[in-house]
Amino acid sequence: MEQWTELVKQILEYHSGADQAFLERLRLFLVKIPRSDKQGDSFSRSLAVARTLVELRMDTASIAAALLSDVVESGQVPLQTIKEEFGEDIAFLTDGLTKIVNISSRTRSEIQAEEFRKMILAMAKDVRVILIRLAFCLQQLRLAAANKIELPDKLVRDVLETYAPIAHRLGIYWIKNELEDLAFCIRDPEGYAALDEAVKKSRRGGEDVVRKVISILKKSLRKNNIDAEVFGREKHLFSIHNKLERKKINLDDMYDIIGYRIIVKKKTDCYKVFGMIHGEFSPVPGRFKDYIAMPKSNGYKSLHTVVIGPFGNRIEIQIRTEKMHQVSESGVAAHWTYKEHGGLNTKKRSAATGYAWLKRMLEAHQKTDDPSQFFEHVKIDLFPNEIYLFTPNGDIRTLPRGATPVDFAYAVHSAVGDHCKGAKVNGRMVPLKTPLETGDSVEIITSKTQHPNPDWLRFVVTGQAKYRINRWEKVLRQEQGVALGRELLTRELQKLQQGLSLGGKALMRGAKRFNMSSEKEFLYQVGTSLIGPLQAIHAMFPKSANGNSNDGTEAKTEKDSKAKRAKNSVSGSGKDMRLHGILPEMAVSAARCCSPVPGDRIVGIISSGKGIVIHGVECPNLGALERYPERWIKDIDWPTFTSEHYITRLRILAQNKRDALSVVSQAVTNAEGNIIQIKVQDRDKDPFMLILDVEVDGVRLLDGISKQIKSLDFVHEVERVRG
C-alpha cells in the first residue's frame, strides 16, 4: 500500500488531472488477484516498471497496462475481462505488450520477422506500447545486474540490437544509455569493470572534475550576462567501449569521455554561448556541429563543439534551449499530452517527435510483401547512418550513408529520378554513382528523353530508387522482347523470298490465330521463343508461307505451339529456372554442352524454338555464337536462394580395380550428391576413364563431390566437363 500511495503521488505531481477514482479502482482490482510468492515478485517488478513510466511522464492508461500485463500474460485474467473492466484503450496496450513479449521469445527467422512487423504496427498505432516495453526491459536488466542473475544471450542481444536502438530512434537517450550499460555489464562483467576502473583513472582535474568545470563555465556565463544552466556527465561505458572497438584507439585518445550541456532560454542565446566558449577556450578544428540549423531525423537540435578544457584535456560542450533539451532527453514522451481519463491528444500525438518515423514504418509495411525484407528495412532504420543534403532551394533531404545522386533524385520525386540525366554536386558535374557526403548541395539535371538505367541498380541504396528502376527494367525487357520478335520474323520472311511483308494486318492475323488481343503480345511471344518464327509466319500467311496451302496447318501450328511452350518452360534439369535479369514468363533452359550450375558465371543465348539457353561463360560452344551479339543476354545471374537441382558432368581418370565404381558411388553419396548416370570408357585399360553425371544445387556441392572423389587413393584426376 505504501508503494502504491507513493506511485499515485508521483503521477499527480506531473498530471494533476489524473483520474484518482480510476487509480483506486485499478488498485482494488489488482489486490483481488491471488498471487504466489513468485507472482508477488512479478507484481513488484511491474510496480518498478510503473515508476519508470512515471519518469517518462506517461498517462494512467500506460501505467495500468504495465501493471496488468503480467496477469494477462500468465493467463490469470483474460484480455476480455480487462476490456470490460477498464476499456478498449488499456486492453489494446496490454495485448500489444503481450505480443511483444511473445516476439522476444522467438528465434530469428522469417516467422519472427512477421511478428516483428506486428510489433512495429503496434508502435505505429500507439507508441505507448513500445515505451512500456522499454520500461520492462530496463527493469529486467536492472534486477539482473543488481542480483548477478544470468540472462539468456538472446535477451541481451535483443536489448542491444532492437530495444536500445528503438529508444535512441525515439530520442529517449537516458533509457538507451542505461539499457546498453546494463547489457554490457551482464554480457561481459569483467570487461565492464576493467573499463570502469580505467575511465576513473583517466580523469584529469581530480574526482570532482565535472563540478570544477561546471563552476568555471557558470562564471563565464555570468560575466557575459547569459542566463543558463550547466550540466556535466561522463559518456556511458558501453558508448566508450564501442568507440574504442570501432576506432581501434586507446582511452587516452578519446576527448569526449566527459560532456557538458549548457541550457539557455532562447535559440539566439545558443550562438552567443558558442561564441563565448570559443573565446574562453581553444576550439578543436573540425569538431563543431550545428544540429539546430540541420536537426537530426528524430528532431534532435543542439550545438556541439569540442575545446581544450581548463585542465588541458579535450571536452565536448553541447548548447541548446530548454525545449530542445526536453526533446533530446525524452523524445516522443516529451510531447505527451493528456486528456481526461488518461487519453492521448491525437493532434499532439501525430506531431510528436519520432512519430513521423513510426508512420513511415507503417507506410513501408503497406508497400512490402516479404516480411524478411521489411525486417531488414527496419533494422537499417533502427541503426541510422544518415547524411544531410541540400536541394538547390536550400531544403534539407536526409538519406542513408552511401546514397548517390540517383537516390537523391528519387527522394525529391519519382519523376525526377526517372528522368535523371546528370547531377551537379556543389556546382560541379559528377558521375551518377558518386557517393554523397553530408553538406553537399545536389542539383539534378533531367531530360524528357531520359529513362531509368538498369545499371543504376549496382549503386543505388534506397528502396524507392530500386523499386522504380526494377519496374522500368521490366518494361524495357518487354519492349526488347517485342523488338526481337519483329527482327526474327523479318529474317525468316527474307529467307522465304516470297515478297511477304510484316505489316499490321498480318501481325493481327497471327495474333488472332493464337487467341491474342494485340500484335505486341504476339511479337513478344515470338521474341521470347514461346512461339517459333516459322509457326508465327504460318499463322500470319496461312496460304502463302513456303508456297503451300495451309490445309490443316493452323490447327497443327497451334498444337505444336502448345507442345513447345510446355517443353520450353523446362530447364535442362527438368525444373523451371528463375534467374535475375530474365522475366519469369520467358522460357529458360540450361545448355547440355556445359551444364551450368548456380555459382557459375553465365550468359543467356536467345535460341529460336528454345527460348533462352543458359551457358557457362567458359563454354567452348559460345565461340560459334559471337557473330550474333543481338542474341546474347549478359546481365543475368542465379537467384540468391534456390531449391532447384542441376545435372553436370565429371570426367574421372582412375586406377583399374574391381570395386572402383562402387567406391566412387559411395564417395558421391557421402558428399550428399546424387548420381544420374555412369559411363565407363576404356574399361580394359589402366588407368581407365569414368564419366559421371551428377545432380547438384550449385558449385559448392559440386566442389564437395569432386573433393571426395579426389581423396580416393586410386583416383588420378577429376575434372568437370564444360563442352
pLDDT in tens, 127-173: 778 888 899 999 999 999 988 888 888 888 888 877 888 787 666 78
Q: Report the C-alpha gap between 689 and 679 in whole angstroms.
A: 9
Question: Cβ distance 597 to 699 under 8 Å?
Answer: yes
Kindly tell me the burial class for residue 239, based on how many C-beta atoms sit within 10 Å of its own C-beta (0-12, 13-18, 19 or more): middle
Three-state SS letters, 322-364: HHHHHHHHHHHHHHCCECHHHCECHHHHHHCCCHHHHHHHHHH
Q: How far is CA 254 from CA 199, 236, 390, 446, in A?
A: 11, 13, 31, 46
Class of domain 207-333: alpha beta
Residue with cell 529458360: 588
Of 663, 707, 658, the C-alpha closest to 686 is 658
Q: How confident is the model at residue 101 (pLDDT cuts 50, 70, 90)?
A: confident
Q: What is the pLDDT of residues 700-719, one digit of tens each?
A: 889 999 999 999 988 999 99
- Does pLDDT of 13 surpass 70? yes
**pLDDT mean across residues, the chain:** 78
Chain centroid to Cα 392, Å, comes to 30
DSSP 171: T
Whose grid coordinates read 511522464?
A: 57
Q: Are 296 and 356 in contact (CB under 8 A)?
A: no
Q: Look up the CATH number of domain 2-187.
A: 1.10.3210.10
| Ranges of each domain in the chain | 2-187, 207-333, 469-568, 569-644, 646-720
Strand-pair category, 588-590 with 611-616 = parallel
pLDDT, position 125: 61
Q: What is the pLDDT of residue 410?
A: 95
For residue 340, the model assigns a pLDDT of 31
pLDDT at residue 471, rounded to an integer: 85
Summarize the confidence of residues 23-27 as an average pLDDT: 91
**Predicted TM-score (pTM) of this structure:** 0.45
pLDDT at 270: 95
DSSP calls for 225-252: T--EEEEEEEPPHHHHHHHHHHHT--GG
* Those residues with Cβ within 8 angstroms of residue 370's Cβ, 6 or more apart along the chain or in another chain: none
The reported pLDDT for the residue numbered 593 is 85
Asked if the domains 207-333 and 646-720 are classified in one and the same CATH topology, the answer is no
Most confident of 236-250, 361-375, 520-534: 236-250
Residue 163 CB coordination number (10 Å):
26
Give the model's confidence band at 114: pLDDT under 50 very low, under 70 low, under 90 confident, else very high. very low
Q: Give the pLDDT confidence score for residue 106 in this predicted structure.
A: 44
**pLDDT for 200-229, tens place per residue?**
777 665 567 788 889 999 999 999 999 999
Instruction: Name all contacts of 703-710 with Cβ < 8 Å and 24+ positions apart.
Output: 704/671, 704/672, 704/673, 705/650, 705/667, 705/668, 705/671, 705/673, 706/650, 707/671, 708/667, 708/668, 708/670, 708/671, 709/650, 709/652, 709/664, 709/667, 709/668
Q: What's 582's DSSP letter?
A: S
SS3 assignment, position 553 = helix
For the 646-720 domain, the top CATH level (class) is: alpha beta
- All three cell numbers of 94: 496490454
Which pLDDT value is given to residue 110?
Answer: 43
Q: Tell me the average pLDDT across 604-624.
A: 81
Residue 338 pLDDT level (bands cut at 50, 70, 90): very low
Asked if the model's pLDDT at residue 109 lies above 60, the reply is no
Q: What's the rounded Cα separation, in Å, for the pair 677 and 668? A: 12
Predicted pLDDT at 581: 66
> What pLDDT score does 443 carry?
95
| Beta-ladder partners of 208 | none
Can you tell me the distance from the alpha carbon of 553 to that of 476, in angstroms, rounded to the nearest whole number? 34
The residue-averaged pLDDT of 577-606 equals: 78
User: Which of 365-379, 520-534, 579-593, 655-669 is the most confident on average?
Assistant: 655-669
Question: What average pLDDT score do residues 471-487 get?
Answer: 77
Mean pLDDT of 509-522: 86
Task: Give the Cα separation of 182 and 159 in Å (integer).
Answer: 10
Burial of 252 (0-12, 13-18, 19+ CB in 10 A): exposed
